[in-house]
Amino acid sequence: MPLKLPSVGIVSLGCPKNLVDTEVMLGYLKREGHPLADPDGARVVIVNTCGFIDQAKEESVNAVLEQVRRKEAGEIDRVVVAGCMVQKYGAELAAELPEVDHFIGLDELEKAPAAALGLPGLPRFTDKPLATRLYDDRAPRVLTGRRGYAYLKVAEGCNNPCTFCTIPQMRGLQRSRSVESLVAEARGLEAQGVRELVLVSQDTTRYGEDAGLGREGLATLVRALVAGTSVPWIRFLYAYPKTLHPSVLDLMAAEPRFVPYVDIPLQHVSRGVLAAMQRGGDPASYARLLHGMREKVPGIALRTTFIVGFPTESDADFAELVSFVREVELDHLGVFPYSPEPGSGAEPLGDPVPAAVKEERVGTLMELQRKISRARNRALKGQVLDAIVEGPADESELLLAGRLKRQAPEIDGRLLLNDAPEGFEPLPGSIVRVKVTSAHDYDLVGRVVG
């Protein structure tokens, strides 16, 4: 009698890069014949953790403890923990959580089926502090969303020495996939109905440097994806200020399928704070950078993130940051309170800025950005623009949710479509023409016109 395989569900936490890892694990599970299920209805649950900041780690630990509780109650049979927290804290987790059956590191995604079965030959935990592997187009993958887009992970790891970050200690140094592998995977995603490719890695603008492509690796890759697929939208996340090469913006200005959108995490603008972060830059150089991008690519949407409450940040440094946000008027902005990371370059600096001050600074910047975003959104009213449909909106089955090119998946608001020509029912992934009819702080409302 053939072995009856347990159903498996995955709780996926963290960034898009982690989501791709989840989808690869699902691919291995499906290939081995495991039924895939929602975690609430599965017999085995894998928690794919994030270990980036305190809030993410707390969310991951709580998710693991919830599955442990379910196992003890007999609701599930096995608990497996995977991802960044395993890579960095695996030995501690294995000692403190004996109820967890297996721990899977970042280089062990293909072990998900063996962990789901609890095969006796699989070690409960393998201590390997630094990830070194890189998956390619031959790895199976199951897409978790049907909203028209998919992430394409172009590289792993990071070479940047930012003192607030420990990602290189988990995911290792940058390792770029080959152009051929990425085009092959992109074709497979397109065959599944994907209409927007979102290129991701830790420092996507440095793609290919380690593979001999020089500073123009990202532009080389995008040209190959344009030539090798018919996907109408190609977007990339994320840019690093020092490694954004002019060839990327030149191609963005010339190629309609390369979405005019740049997410470039600046992290701060104060020269002193940036120096302590080991990043470099200042308000004037960053303002010139953003102005140059808008000049070269008319209509480009710009997003950044800032960290407030870094140990060396003074009131004057924060005031400089507020002034910068007010002056450059970014399209989208994310703000995060500093979270001290054990083992990071900034750990010796301590955490002297009180939590209440950090939260107040987050609120100040986000309130300022809310007004800026509202004004920039209102300027779109009456325009007819391309949009991608993502599916029914949460508010009502009569509404569709979608995005303009200036809105990246999951982070930059959305477009509600409340009217369409009679009989017109665009499927998720459809590219439609939309007239913007009203605007709010972050979301937009539009009418399908073609």
Shared domain for 71 and 103, answered yes or no, is yes
Tell me if 274 is assigned to some domain.
Answer: yes
pLDDT, residue 96, reads 93
Tell me if 270 is assigned to some domain.
Answer: yes
Tell me if 131 is assigned to some domain.
Answer: no
Shared domain for 389 and 373, answered yes or no, is no
- Asked whether the whole model's pTM tops 0.85, one would answer yes
- Quick one: residue 171, left, alpha or beta (phi over 0 = left, psi -120 to 50 = alpha)? alpha
Q: How far apart are CA 191 and CA 211, in angstroms?
A: 28
- Residue 288, C-beta contacts closer than 8 angstroms, at least 6 positions apart: none
pLDDT, residue 195, reads 96
Task: List, for residues 198-251, the tens digit of each pLDDT value.
Answer: 999 999 999 999 999 999 999 999 999 999 999 999 999 999 999 999 999 999
Shared domain for 399 and 358, answered yes or no, is no
pLDDT, residue 146, reads 72
Q: Are 415 and 407 in contact (CB under 8 A)?
A: yes
Tell me if 227 is assigned to some domain.
Answer: yes
CATH number of the domain enclosing 254:
3.80.30.20
Residue 385 has which token pair? 């623009």
Beta strands in 154-247 (DSSP E): 155-156, 175-176, 196-200, 233-237
Tell me if 144 is assigned to some domain.
Answer: no
Shared domain for 189 and 328, answered yes or no, is yes
pLDDT, residue 279, reads 94
Shared domain for 197 and 333, answered yes or no, is yes
Task: List, for residues 363-404, the tens digit of each pLDDT value.
Answer: 999 999 999 999 999 999 999 999 999 988 877 666 788 999
CATH number of the domain enclosing 394:
2.40.50.140
Helix (H) or strand (E) holding 374: helix 355-378
Q: What angle do CA 128, 130, 131 make, to 5 degrees?
A: 95
Shared domain for 272 and 316, answered yes or no, is yes
Length of the chain: 450
Tell me if 183 is assigned to some domain.
Answer: yes
Shared domain for 368 and 389, answered yes or no, is no
Q: Domain of 49?
A: 8-117
Q: Which of 323, 350, 378 is the last residue of a domain?
A: 378
Residue 73 has which token pair? 């109650």
Q: Are 399 and 414 in contact (CB under 8 A)?
A: no
Tell me if 134 is assigned to some domain.
Answer: no
Question: Running DSSP on this structure, what letter comes out for residue 380?
Answer: T
Q: Count of domains in the chain?
A: 3
pLDDT, residue 1, reads 40
Tell me if 318 is assigned to some domain.
Answer: yes
Residue 125 has which token pair? 């935990």
pLDDT, residue 168, reads 87
Find the Cα–Cα–Cα–Cα dihedral 2, 99, 29, 7, rounded to 10°: 60
Closest C-alpha among 239, 324, 307, 322 to residue 273: 307
Q: What is the DSSP string of 99-130?
A: T--EEE-TT-GGGHHHHHHT-TTS-S----SS
Q: How far apart are CA 159 and CA 426, in angstroms?
A: 42
Residue 29 has which token pair? 């599970």
Q: Are 164 and 273 in contact (CB under 8 A)?
A: no
Q: What average pLDDT does the chain have?
A: 93
Burial annotation 63-72 (CB, 10 A radius, 16+ → b, else e): bbeebbebbe
CATH number of the domain enclosing 69:
3.40.50.12160
Shared domain for 397 and 358, answered yes or no, is no
Classify 194 as helix, strand or coil.
coil
Strand partners, 252: none
Q: Which of 328, 361, 378 is the last residue of a domain?
A: 378
Shared domain for 273 and 184, answered yes or no, is yes
What's the one-letter identity of residue 302?
A: L
Q: Are 42 and 9 in contact (CB under 8 A)?
A: yes
Q: Which of 95, 117, 139 is the last residue of a domain?
A: 117
pLDDT under 50 in the chain at which residues? 1
pLDDT, residue 255, reads 98
Shared domain for 95 and 164, answered yes or no, is no
Closest C-alpha among 414, 409, 415, 412 to residue 434: 415
pLDDT, residue 2, reads 54
Cis? peptide before 338, omega within 30° of 0:
no
Burial annotation 81-102 (CB, 10 A radius, 16+ → b, else e): bbbbbbbbbbeebbeebeebbb
Closest C-alpha among 417, 424, 415 to residue 450: 424
Strand partners, 330: none
Shared domain for 413 and 322, answered yes or no, is no
Shared domain for 197 and 319, answered yes or no, is yes
Q: How many helices (H) and strands (E) does the chain have?
A: 12, 17
